[in-house]
Amino acid sequence: MSFGVYRYLLMTVDPVHIGTGGYRLGRVDLSIVREPGTRLPKIPGTSLSGAIRSYAAYRYGKPRCAGQGQPKGGREEETGHCGRPTCPICYTFGSVRGERAYSGVVSIGDARILLFPVYSMAGPVWVSTEAILREVGFAMDKSGAHLTTMTWDKPLNLGWLMIEKPDGVKITPPKEVEDKQEWKTIQNRIVLVSDKLFSQIVNSNLEVRTSVSISPETGAAEEGALFTYEAIPRATFLWMDVVVDDYRGMFPSPELLKQWSQGKLPEEKKKRLQEAGWTDADVAIALTKYHPEELGETASKVITTGLEWAEHLGIGGMGTRGFGRIRKIADWRC
């Protein structure tokens, strides 16, 4: 089946700052991207796509296929996208080479907040809403405005906001999540609130830091260069959907490449691949240079391969200030 939707559960290892670009009037100078309807922070799919492509390209030994594609200096055959039909990076994300361009087969959605960490009199808790959890695939044994998985029998504060005594609730995660250590750590510290309160709680408890620009000449702080910025805090759980539409049905998997090189492909299949631009030389390069078998065998696995490095190299801005790392907790096909 060429079409599929894959859901990813992520967790921020560091604060994450995806800026809106430039300074804004408000409580901070550098604000982060938000959903226009709910005002909830998010990580845009465009930011994720660029980082995932870059990391996947390096893992496949194809750094030239990480950028925008057009040659920039040097010999053309050494820069820009290779554009080969046997390249898993160009095939998955698309390629641009001169006047020839191919669209990719994946669509990476925004990463949205699932469970948000907030300090309370009971210690750290993770806040969400019933609607969000059910949308992702979590199940609950009851509905209500104020629910918790904790043993708590009195009013509870979430940051500056006090809510009435929450009722007990049992939350069942998707089977791919239930055995993950990150989920086990927080499963008994979850608080559900109403949709109208959730946005206020999140935006009131974002991480806000103050920094100052440093002069490269003196190594001291620049005068009048103090600025503030906000970020999604550490230990926030997010989720995103990736749509894979492999309309070509020709992803260069190791098995397909081996069948070509060994002459085991059916004649009709080989003819289709030749019409798509496959050659013996491209297959030889793919097998020997940049397609290790331990990496992805499908377009969705290429996404997972790139996402694994985001835990170490991060995404977004303020990377030199220790921001940006996210970890993949689980993924499953919807």
Q: How many domains does the chain have?
A: 3
The pLDDT value recorded for residue 22 is 65
Domain assignment present for 71: yes
Instruction: Note whether 102 and 181 are same-domain residues.
Output: no
Instruction: Note whether 248 and 260 are same-domain residues.
Output: no
Instruction: Note whether 7 and 105 are same-domain residues.
Output: yes
Residue pLDDT tens, the chain, 334 long: 578 999 999 999 999 999 887 666 567 888 899 999 999 999 999 999 999 999 999 888 888 888 766 555 555 455 678 888 888 998 999 888 766 778 889 999 999 999 999 999 999 999 999 999 999 999 999 888 899 999 988 999 999 999 999 999 999 999 999 999 999 999 999 999 999 999 999 999 999 988 887 777 777 777 777 888 899 999 999 999 999 998 888 888 888 888 888 888 888 888 989 888 888 988 888 888 766 666 778 889 999 999 999 999 999 888 888 899 999 999 999 9
The pLDDT value recorded for residue 73 is 54
Instruction: Note whether 31 and 121 are same-domain residues.
Output: no
Instruction: Note whether 246 and 324 are same-domain residues.
Output: yes
Instruction: Note whether 246 and 104 are same-domain residues.
Output: yes
Domain assignment present for 156: yes
The pLDDT value recorded for residue 136 is 96
Do residues 261 and 86 lie in contact, with contact meaning Cβ atoms separated by under 8 Å?
no
The pLDDT value recorded for residue 263 is 87
Instruction: Note whether 117 and 100 are same-domain residues.
Output: no
Domain assignment present for 41: yes
Domain assignment present for 275: yes
Instruction: Note whether 97 and 153 are same-domain residues.
Output: no
Check: pTM over 0.75? Answer yes or no. Answer: yes
Instruction: Note whether 52 and 196 are same-domain residues.
Output: no
Instruction: Note whether 133 and 198 are same-domain residues.
Output: yes
Domain assignment present for 229: no
Instruction: Note whether 123 and 151 are same-domain residues.
Output: yes
Domain assignment present for 100: yes
Q: d(Cα 126, Cα 234) in Å, to the nearest integer?
A: 12
Instruction: Note whether 95 and 125 are same-domain residues.
Output: no
The pLDDT value recorded for residue 23 is 65
The pLDDT value recorded for residue 326 is 96
Domain assignment present for 233: no
Domain assignment present for 76: yes
The pLDDT value recorded for residue 291 is 64
The pLDDT value recorded for residue 77 is 52
263: domain range?
253-290
The pLDDT value recorded for residue 85 is 87
